[in-house]
Chain A
Amino acid sequence: MTELQLSDVRKSYGGFEVIKGVDLDIKSGEFVVFVGPSGCGKSTLLRMIAGLEEITSGDLTIDDVLMNDVDPSKRGIAMVFQSYALYPHMTVRENMGFALRFAGVPKAEIEKRVGEAANILELGPLLDRKPKQLSGGQRQRVAIGRAIVRHPKIFLFDEPLSNLDAELRVHMRIEIARLHKQLAATIIYVTHDQVEAMTLADKIVVMRGGVVEQVGSPLDLYDDPANQFVAGFIGSPKMNFLKGVIEAGDGGECYARLPEYGGVKIPVGLKGAAPGTPVTIGIRPEHFKEEGSVSLDLTIDMLEHLGGETFAYARHGNGELVVIETKNGRGLKSGDRITARFDPACALVFDEGGKRLR
């Protein structure tokens, strides 16, 4: 069973630390997605696992073997790059067999493995073409095929779908998910697209500023984010954040009052929250319903009709924008005044530093 462990892994360029102590366990067969905004260090971390960037400190082990100083080709990994990185002077067949040729694998075995990978990815008719004669999607399949033929312990994908158009991206996303199932391979996948992360991952690693913010299954992160950053990053459209302040009720119950929304009170049920504490209330667009004990008076600014549902971008008198998802939005129009309601049980509470309060 292939397991990968990162223990307090750090990376610095000169005096500037870009990966600030990452601890992570990846189990055999898991599909792990590193996700985060540009510059968060996700690609750097992937390149450190691949051996393309040196590890400044900390340990990287694969199957309990320390890999910090092991050559990339001897780590049992294969990598698929964003720009495909196919050798332009070689045919598809040569590209796929190149690593094996250098590893001294017999020609017959190379042919067999290339054939198998070509079958899996339906690349048979393209084997004698050069990369410039292929479409973007075909090139990406060749890049994946080049990884498959090496029979790696771990596949590394560095934003592999970023260069594809929207339709092809969806198609390739399904292909990669199918491949994961078929090969039962361990996959580490980097993306900044949280939809890709949600749909592909067994486990998502959310990163920001070289730090892992949270690790968990897609729905765990969606339903139970550890902080405001994760809550805002996972989910599209993103979670609404409303500024509030903690107040104690007459019976000792805890409320978050929203002074900028006409003093609306939201029962939050926090233990030990001191009155006067500034908080942020997080509410997802789909949690606004026709029924609910908390209501906000809003004016619709703009509408996005997607057919099945509608996203209404509405403003309160304070100018703050609130996004509401509704199934019954066809009759709405800009300028309409609405009352948006939600169940306070759906609201998440964050402190001033963005940490989740429970």
Chain B
Amino acid sequence: MRNNPATIASAVFTYGFVGLMAFLSVFPFIWMVLGATNSSIDIIKGRLMPGEALATNIANFFTLVNVPLVFWNSAKVTIFATVLTLAVSSLAGYGFEIFRSRRRENLYRAMLLTLMIPFAALMIPLFIMMGKMGLINTHIAVVLPTIGSAFIVFYFRQSTKAFPSELRDAAKVDGLKEWQIFLYIYVPVMRSTYAAAFIIVFMTAWNNYLWPLIVLQSNETKTITLVISSLASAYYPDYGVVMVGTFLATLPTLTVFFFMQRQFVQGMLGSVK
């Protein structure tokens, strides 16, 4: 590489910009970790150094919150939402791409249009529907509206474009029915796509706040996001406790991403090469 001034300036600008963006992304996480070790007053004062209140904050969090129950609630909702969303959306994406027709294409476009409707506009009709089905204050009400995800269907359809049609032909000659081709060939071949979609859906479901806030009304059914929110909006919020809760709530998504990041990146680039 030549060391002329323009190249150096370009490198400084690039690294400076990337560094700034990285810092802005990581700072809230650092603040959360440091905050978990400080008292509420220190946090309000803006202290950004490790403190000595970690044990107290953890003890208070476990006193105020039924931790196993809320984590179980969140896990239940997230696992069902993730598995069902992946199953339904991948089938739909595969179907839209493989069995093309003008009518299905119109249906697909109509489905994509739903991405433009803000959730706020859907809340009340959804709430009324769930009410009529007697599902208010149940985890089914949280999961049901999330499984038909237009974005994930779109993602699977786009990825299916890279699925070699000759594999499908070979499977047909080998005697597989369409559902067997999907199950035994498509799913394993597209596993990186599934991994990327898994991370996206898992994080969305775990962090889901607005809809559970509306349909989950009793403390027995509330998820971790709702509990942290209620701690933060108390009359005298203990921010140290809130930071501990936030940190613990972040751990599952961090773990999932840590173990699946390679597949996530591969999935974003395309499963089939």
Task: Name A residues whose Cβ lies closer than 8 Å to a Cβ of B.
Answer: 47, 50-52, 71-74, 77-79, 81-83, 85-89, 98-99, 102-103
Contact = CB atoms under 8 A, between A and B. Distances in A.
Q: Top 8 A-B pairs ranked by shortest CB distance?
A: A73-B175, A99-B174, A85-B170, A85-B166, A89-B188, A81-B166, A72-B173, A102-B175
Contact of A103 (B170, B175, B188): B175
Interface string B158-187: 000000101101111111100010000100
Contacts of A71: 175
Given A87-B185, A88-B189, A89-B188, A73 B166 contact: no
Interface string B198-241: 00000000000000000000000000000000000000000000
B188 to A, nearest CB: 4
Contact of B164 (A77, A78, A83): A83
Contacts of B272: 88
A83 B189 CA distance: 16
A78 B173 contact: yes
Contacts of A85: 164, 166-167, 169-170
A89 B171 CA distance: 13
B107 to A, nearest CB: 21
B173 A73 contact: yes
B262 to A, nearest CB: 16
Interface in B254-273: 272
Interface of B: 164, 166-167, 169-176, 180, 185, 188-189, 191, 272
Contacts of B173: 50-52, 72-73, 77-79, 99
Nearest to B271: A88
A85 B188 CA distance: 15
Contacts of B189: 87-89
A89 B188 CA distance: 7
Contacts of A74: 175
A85 to B, nearest CB: 4
Contacts of A78: 173
A73 to B, nearest CB: 3
Contacts of A98: 174
A88 B185 CA distance: 9
Contacts of A50: 169, 173
B181 to A, nearest CB: 11
A13 to B, nearest CB: 13
Given A87-B189, A88-B189, A102 B174 contact: yes
Nearest to A82: B166
Contacts of B185: 87
Interface centre among B167, B171, B175, B176 (most CB of A within 10 A): B175
A112 to B, nearest CB: 19
A220 to B, nearest CB: 32
Interface centre among A47, A52, A74, A78 (most CB of B within 10 A): A52
Nearest to B191: A89
Nearest to B185: A87
Contact of A72 (B166, B167, B172, B180): B172
B169 A52 contact: yes
